Amino acid sequence: MSRANERLTVAELCADLGISRSTFYDWRAKGRAPRCIKLPNGDLRIRRVELERWLDDREEAA
């Protein structure tokens, strides 16, 4: 699977962003987290491309 098609776990996303799981779930509850895929077992996955898009949307001009 290419990096663009990679699907991250919540732990991987949190490590990538340097945030706690509770922060991620707080953002998710408030509708501020990247879009997630909910698997049949309840686990979440986040597409790498969706994370990059989400980050781009939050980028501010310096």
Model pTM score = 0.85
Structure-token pair, residue 50: 């969706």
- Of the candidates 39, 60, 51, the one whose C-alpha atom is nearest the C-alpha of residue 13 is 51
Query: Residue 41 is part of which domain span?
Result: 3-58
pLDDT digits (tens, 9 = 90+) for 11-45: 999 999 999 999 999 999 999 999 999 999 999 99
Please say whether the beta carbons of 12 and 19 come within 8 A: no
- pLDDT score of 62: 56
- pLDDT score of 43: 97
**What is the CATH classification number for the domain harbouring 9?**
1.10.10
Count of domains in the chain? 1
- pLDDT score of 60: 82
